[in-house]
Amino acid sequence: MTVTVLEPAAPAAEPVLQRPSLVGRTRAGLAAALAEIGVPEKERRMRVGQLWNWIYHYGVRDFVAMTTIGKGLRGALAERFTLDLPEVTAEQISTDGTRKWLMRMAPTGPRDRGAEIECVYIPEVDRGTLCVSSQVGCTLTCTFCHTGTQRLVRNLTTEEIVAQLMVARDRLGDFPNREAPGGAFVPKDGGRFVSNIVFMGMGEPLYNFDGVRDAIDVISDNEGLSLGRRRITVSTSGVVPQIGPLGDEMGTMLAISLHAVRDDLRNELVPLNKKYPIAELLEACRTYPGVSNAKRITFEYVMLKGVNDSDAEARELVRLLKGIPAKINLIPFNPWPGTKYECSDWDRIERFSEIVFRAGYASPVRTPRGRDILAACGQLKSETEKLSARARLMLDQEEAAAATTG
């Protein structure tokens, strides 16, 4: 049974551009904000450190709470900026404890009503994983993925990516001196609720390289949110030219959405394969900076009944990955409305896993989480759509008519 604890809010009639929020900004972004309100350059580094601590360590939502900052500066900040988080328009809780949030971002312009994205929190016995989005929609059209049916609207900004973690920690009481909501997962070791982040939500992270890189810098800063880079995994469908830079500049764990062992089939399941075929993708994995048995690459393989789940394909997967420090995540397909695929039978999944395991690779079968609230792998989608040129023209005409009559 699904428990919905917050009903979706009605869309705003007209977007209202508000004071910008400081939440999610990099250190350079906070320094720029201080420059805007006239803080002398020689003071900015110290003030950035103070803001950083209050925003990211303590998670405060009001400048008044920043007691180490003078009253005058707090007032100047409050006049020009906010500490607002994205609006949570719906929150759903699965029977297995998974939580899905539909978040509406602040409008970015006069025609933007606030893009919506989905973010999922998955509690487990030894960890709490947050699945974050990097884009609104997706350009890749992978045929087994629900997000692929939603056209790309835009990249999320660095601030919007970081804000997903801030929303999760805020709603879970995962900041100092906060209370956890009833029934929430509580780490047995006294650690944080969100201990791991995976870029496996909406969008292709490597097509938003700069935004994701800067967000990871904020998230991993040990004076704030303090999530180590080994606890952050970036998943890609195979944007080969960016895989090396991902390792060099971000230093995170890498996951590859593989899903097929033949180019003809992967061309259908993951159309990006037509540009970067399997051989090129695996070569990029072999040379991924820092790859080793201590830093293995995860290969994700969705199990589709009668499509990619034969014994022969399991053996070919083993052959393809030879020489790559790897583990294989077998993902039972999570159905969504309108899909043409079915999940492989359980005995078929177990047989596939056994072949891979006997070849020396860890091959866990991912337990489906949040299926009842469409929060499982491949099920995320929002209703935000990109305005067509015709729609923009109609809005221009409506605004012109309103101005004339007003």
Catalytic residues: 118, 377
The helix, strand and coil proportions of the chain, stated in percent and rounded to the nearest 5, come to 35, 15, 45
Give the amino acid at 32: A
Total Cβ atoms within 10 A of residue 293: 7
Q: What single string gives the DSSP state of each residue in 114-173?
A: --EEEEEEEE-SS-EEEE--SEES-SS--TT-SGGGS---EEPPHHHHHHHHHHHHHHHT
Total Cβ atoms within 10 A of residue 44: 17
Structure tokens at 141: 């059209």
Structure tokens at 116: 């919506």
Instruction: Please tell me whether residue 330 adopts helix, strand or coil conformation.
Output: strand
Cβ atoms of 283 and 262 closer than 8 Å? no
Cβ atoms of 291 and 325 closer than 8 Å? yes
Cβ atoms of 211 and 134 closer than 8 Å? yes
CA dist 270 and 53 (Å) reads 42
Q: For 52-89, give one letter per residue: b (16+ CB within 10 A) or e.
A: bebbbeebbbebeebeebeeebbebbeeebbbebbebb
Cβ atoms of 169 and 88 closer than 8 Å? no
CA dist 94 and 74 (Å) reads 40
CA dist 228 and 297 (Å) reads 17
Total Cβ atoms within 10 A of residue 402: 9
Q: Show the CA angle centred on residue 11, arms to residues 137 and 396, nearest 5°.
A: 80
CA dist 159 and 203 (Å) reads 16
Q: For 100-114, give one letter per residue: b (16+ CB within 10 A) or e.
A: bbbbbbbbeeeebbb
Q: Show the CA angle centred on residue 252, arms to residues 249 and 258, nearest 5°.
A: 110
Structure tokens at 143: 């045929």
